[in-house]
Amino acid sequence: MRGPYGVHLGMELAVLEPDRAVVRLPWQPELGNGAGIYHGGATASLIDTAATAAAWTNPSVVEATKGATVGFTVNYLSPGLKGRGLAAEAVVLRRGGSLTVVDVLVTDDDGRKIARGVVTYKLGRGGATGTSFD
State pLDDT tens for residues 13-34: 999 999 999 999 999 999 999 8
Residue type, position 12, single letter: E
pLDDT at 48: 97
Nearest alpha-carbon partner for 70 in 123, 128, 11, 126? 123
CATH homologous superfamily, domain 4-124: Hotdog Thioesterase (3.10.129.10)
Residues 122, 55 contacting (CB under 8 angstroms)? no
d(C-alpha 47, C-alpha 40), whole Å = 11
Phi, psi of 120 (to 5 degrees): -105, 125
* Domain residue ranges of the chain, discontinuous segments joined by +: 4-124
Q: What is the pTM (predicted TM-score) of this model?
A: 0.90
CA distance 8 to 33: 17
* Residue pLDDT, tens place only, 103-112: 999 999 999 9
